[in-house]
Structures are given as structure tokens and as C-alpha cells.
């Protein structure tokens, strides 16, 4: 996805949630100063079936989805659940808010991690990115991309994982560990989950694909 396609949606997200673009840009610049260009040819997923693992509690009971896919992408703490169950993680997607130690471990072990910088995680970027093997850090932003920091679309870790897979040519996306109606989250997280659903609905239209996790809720999602 090119930024000119993403930017109008990004503006809607900022306005909806009351976030400031300047904070995202500051975080992006912090990450750009630390990161290296990532060789995307390492993630040659053209035509592959890619599992997008969210961090909902249901993930542990849905891991059989991973038995019949080519690539596993794990959002945030989903990476720990997937690995503990004995499955490989091909890419972790995170904004460093839950399990940064896993990020460091994976990068040092050779597994790529897509790290997002935004206005709320500048301290985490400063603390944890320098501890990583930077050759295995795919630096991302939701603001305009600069230098080694890319923007392939997406807002939350989960939906951003799907947009990354799309950018890398995935032939089919399958989902495990998603709950858009989690009653335990606070009001801000609930708003973010609604945006995740909205963005995935946009992505499936762009791809001409139907994501099973949106079944039964498409009529309630405002189109972008």
C-alpha cells in the first residue's frame, strides 16, 4: 500500500481517537534513527497461505488453523502462545507494549519482527530496539514513511499484521485468536478493536477475499 492511499484513512483514525500526528512522527523519527533498511525479499510470501494470529484468549483453542498454512504471523503476545504450542513464528508484529523481551529474543535468533512506532511508545522504542539484532527489525509507522521505516497500512498489531502479509503478496489470509467484542478491555481498546474490524473489512474488499472473522458483522461495519 502506498501512503497516499493510507493517509485519508489515517486521518480518520486520528480524528476518531483524538491522537496527534506529531506524536506518531516523533516516534517514527526515533525509530528511523535506530533502524536499518530491511530486506523484504527475505519474506517471499507470494501466493502463500498466511495465518494472522491475534492475541485474544481464544488463540490457544484455535491453533489447529496453523496446521495447514505456509506462514505464521503473530501479533504481540500471540507470538508467545504460538511458540509455546510448538509452532514456528515467521514474523512477529508489535508496538512493544506487552512482551518486548520476546521481540529481542526473536530478532537475536534470526526471526524478523515488525516493530511499530507511534506517539505512545517512544520510551519503549528507545529502550528495546537497541537491544535487538537490527538486521531482523522491520521498522514500521502509521505516519508517513521515512528512511528505513515503512508504512504498509494497518493500525493495531493484529490488523497491521494482515496488511503486512498483503503487502508481501500473501495468496490467502487465515485468522486465529481474534475477538472484536472482548468485554474485558477499556473504552479506548474497544474503539481500537472497532477500527481493526473496519480496516480488515477494507482489506478484504481490496483483496477480493472474505475473512471468516468478519462473518456476521459486515453489515455493522462502516465502510471506508
Q: Which domain does 28 fall in, by range? A: 3-220
The whole-number pLDDT of residue 167 equals 98
pTM above 0.95, yes or no: yes
Domain count, the chain: 1
Strand-pair category, 71-75 with 91-94: parallel
What count of residues does the chain have?
224
| Partners of 91 in the β-ladder | 73
**pLDDT per position as a tens digit, 174-217:** 999 999 998 889 999 999 999 999 999 999 999 999 999 999 99
Reference 99, options 59, 55, 33, 139; nearest CA is 55
Amino acid at each position: 500500500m502506498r501512503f497516499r492511499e493510507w493517509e485519508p484513512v489515517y486521518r480518520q483514525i486520528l480524528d476518531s481517537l483524538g491522537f496527534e500526528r506529531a506524536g506518531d512522527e516523533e516516534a517514527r523519527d526515533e525509530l528511523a534513527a535506530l533502524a536499518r533498511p530491511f530486506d523484504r525479499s527475505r519474506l517471499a510470501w507470494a501466493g502463500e497461505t498466511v495465518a494472522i494470529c491475534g492475541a485474544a484468549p481464544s488463540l490457544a483453542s484455535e491453533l489447529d488453523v496453523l496446521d495447514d498454512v505456509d506462514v505464521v504471523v503473530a501479533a504481540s503476545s500471540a507470538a508467545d502462545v504460538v511458540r509455546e504450542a510448538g509452532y514456528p513464528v515467521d514474523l512477529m508484529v508489535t508496538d512493544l507494549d506487552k512482551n518486548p523481551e520476546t521481540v529481542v529474543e526473536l530478532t537475536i535468533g534470526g526471526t524478523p519482527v515488525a516493530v511499530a512506532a507511534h506517539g505512545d511508545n517512544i520510551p519503549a522504542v528507545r529502550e528495546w530496539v537497541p537491544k535487538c539484532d537490527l538486521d531482523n527489525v522491520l521498522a514500521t509507522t502509521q505516519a508517513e514513511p521515512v528512511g528505513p521505516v515503512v508504512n504498509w497500512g494497518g493500525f493495531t498489531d493484529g490488523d497491521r499484521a494482515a496488511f503486512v502479509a498483503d503487502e508481501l503478496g500473501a495468496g490467502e489470509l487465515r485468522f486465529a485468536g481474534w475477538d472484536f467484542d472482548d468485554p474485558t478491555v477499556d473504552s479506548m481498546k474497544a474503539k481500537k478493536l472497532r477500527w481493526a474490524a473496519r480496516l480488515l473489512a477494507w482489506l478484504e474488499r481490496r483483496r477480493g477475499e472474505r475473512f471468516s472473522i468478519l462473518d456476521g458483522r459486515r453489515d455493522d461495519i462502516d465502510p471506508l
